[in-house]
Amino acid sequence: MASEKRTFMMKKLPHNFPIIWKGETGYEKARVGRVFNFRRPERYPVAVIEATTEDHIVEAVCLANRMGCRVSVRSGGHSWAVWSVRDEAILVDLGRYHEFSLDEKTGIAKVSPSTTGRATNKLLEAYGSDGRKLHCDKKENSDLYWAARGAGPGFPAIVTRFYLQTMPRFSHMRSSAYIYKKEDYRKALEWILGITSTYDEGTEIVAVASYPPGRSEIHVTVLLVTFKNSEKEARAALQPAEDSAPSGHVDTWFCRETSLSKEYDDQNAASPMAHRYCVDNCYVRNDADVVSALEDAFTTLPSRKSFSLWYSMAPCSRRSAEQGTMDDMALSMQSDHYFATYTIWEDEHDDSRCQGWVKEICRKVERFSEGSYLGDADFQVRRTMFWETEQGRKLMKIRRDWDPNGRIAGYLDDGDKSGTEGLANVHEWKNSNIEPRTSNGDSKPN
């Protein structure tokens, strides 16, 4: 019966339509070949469409409507939970759908979704759940435009083109680093936390716990990267950290020349291909004892390739739509402190141990959190707040308005049953009796 239905559906598709059905040669490669995380899921789409044109995307949505099944989308293939691979869905893979052009007068680039940031270095076009082509900006289909910036995998359409406003490249990218032994974790974190709230806005600041190359123990690296247009500006931005860094670092450098290409290379080296990953994150509350909350995550890594990081979100985290200092959009969850842990290993026999470590770490940290960034989350394992309350409600309504039948697969929760309701956007840990402590050491009610 399934083969007869497939034959009937194929008759309605254009000649040479790039579809691979479940059970056909090449299906497994199409299913997970472009999935970055080698911890591949046991979920099986009914077919994979390797789109190269917009017409292929339209046909994919129309096919799903005729078959009465969902549509899932794979862009870069880097979602840690592999959201694109869904049971009995039509998987639209955009890996071969390429577009890039730049209007030199306006500085606006047209970019296809699977194009990485490295390859491209606020507008949208999308296909709705019924196959209609839509253009989205602040005036046209403005609710979809609002949702696109923050909806993540729950966006109720397939994005085919981004319009990105480019900006002039900074001529002087410079970095400073201070590397401390694990025993000096508290000293290093207390220092950098103490200077970031008023630090130069053009400087990115991160603290990373890892096993640096050539070292057998966990170390904590405090890294500052500044974007300026002169050597003088760069040195001035990095000097406060240089003047205040506590003694005891085992390695350091100051105002070293760097580039976007080098930073990408470093990130690629830290996130190797053909490995198994488990990732989670929290926005830690501004009034929390951040150093204590993150201590286990920074000092007990479960494998040599794993790393945990704290990233300074200030001063951007102090902007708001209400104050007119940022656009109104679904993306609304923020605090001064972003924490994420990236657990990396190779042997599937370590799956339970490494995943268990991440779960236990986040069980502790989430009690100090405002919520999480959904891009580094797995809704099958842990559900919390991903948007402020009102933005979350508005987003779920927009999803139901634009995709009332749940044609777009949406959020992959436990059992893949979220459907048109989406995510609850609540702290599931609130039922716990554990009360986190503030930075003053006082208990704070949940």
Q: Is the pLDDT of residue 88 over 80?
A: yes
Q: Does 296 share its domain with 426?
A: no
Cα–Cα distances in angstroms (integers) from residue 117 to residues 113, 278, 367, 435, in the given order: 10, 23, 33, 40
Residue 393, token pair as written in the block? 């409600």
- pLDDT value, residue 431: 64
Last residue of a domain, one of 165, 188, 217: 165
68 within a domain of the structure (yes/no): yes
Q: Does 187 share its domain with 138?
A: no
Residues 6+ apart with CB under 8 A from 122: 137, 138, 145, 149, 163, 164, 165, 327
Rg, C-alpha atoms of the chain: 23
Q: Does 157 share its domain with 287?
A: no
Q: Is the pLDDT of residue 331 over 80?
A: yes
Q: Does 244 share its domain with 316?
A: yes
- pLDDT value, residue 253: 99
441 within a domain of the structure (yes/no): no
Report the CATH number at residue 273. Answer: 3.40.462.20
Residues 6+ apart with CB under 8 A from 161: 99, 110, 111, 112, 113, 124, 125
Token pair 């502790």 is found at: 364
Q: Does 181 share its domain with 285?
A: yes
pLDDT tens digits along 245-277: 999 999 999 999 999 999 999 999 999 999 999
Q: Does 285 share its domain with 352?
A: yes
Mean pLDDT across the chain, nearest whole number?
A: 94
Q: Does 304 share its domain with 408?
A: no
Residue 336, token pair as written in the block? 């001064």
In this prediction the pTM is 0.93
208 within a domain of the structure (yes/no): yes
pLDDT tens digits along 132-167: 999 999 999 999 999 999 999 999 999 999 999 999
Closest CA to 362 of 343, 388, 345: 343
Lowest-confidence segment of 33-42, 390-399, 428-437 by average pLDDT: 428-437
By residue range, what is the domain housing residue 134?
104-165
Q: Is the pLDDT of residue 437 over 50?
A: no
Q: Does 161 share its domain with 176?
A: no
Lowest-confidence segment of 4-13, 41-50, 75-84, 332-341 by average pLDDT: 4-13
Domain count, the chain: 4
Report the CATH number at residue 19. Answer: 3.30.465.10
Q: What is the mean pLDDT of the segment spanning 233-242?
A: 99
Give per-residue burial for 96-127: e unless 16+ CB within 10 Å, then b: ebeeeeeeeeeebbbbbbbbeeeeeeebbbbb
324-330, long-range: CB within 8 Å, 24+ apart, which pairs?
327/122, 327/149, 328/146, 329/146, 329/149, 329/150, 329/391, 330/146, 330/147, 330/148, 330/149, 330/150, 330/151, 330/387, 330/391, 330/394, 330/395
